Amino acid sequence: MVGHILEKGVIFELEKALRDVDVEVMHVEVSFAALKAGVEEKMPSFMRFHLVGPEEERARALEIVRRLADETGCRIDYVRERT
């Protein structure tokens, strides 16, 4: 996911949105080029993570992640499914 992850509290919104879904968000990484520019929303940050759980629940979670990205002005940069 790419956007203003920390500034808009996307991490906390993601946790709330996925509370009732049987997936775990694993290996979460958030990075940005420069602290000041990131906080001032001059540069986007990047959040990478894995959704781990049953296939049906992962699909449900991915739809929630997509909706959250739209609501927060972020975008999904890459999705890869592993079985």
Domain containing 51 equals 2-72
Is residue 82, in this structure, part of any structural domain at all? Answer: no
Specify if 56 maps to a domain: yes
78 assigned to some structural domain:
no
Q: What are the pLDDT digits (tens) for 14-31? A: 999 999 999 999 999 998
* CA angle (12 as vertex; 6, 14 as ends), nearest 5: 105
CATH, residue 52: 3.30.70
Total structural domains within the chain: 1
Look at residue 14 in the predicted model and tell me its pLDDT. 95
Q: Which residues of 23-38 are buried (b: 16+ CB within 10 A; e: fewer)?
A: bebeeeeeebeeeeeb
- Classify residue 38: in a domain, yes or no: yes
Output the pLDDT for position 50.
Answer: 94
pLDDT of residue 61: 96
What pLDDT is recorded for position 67? 96
Residues of the chain with pLDDT under 50: none
Q: Is residue 77 part of a domain?
A: no
With respect to residue 63, please indicate whether it lies within any of the assigned structural domains: yes
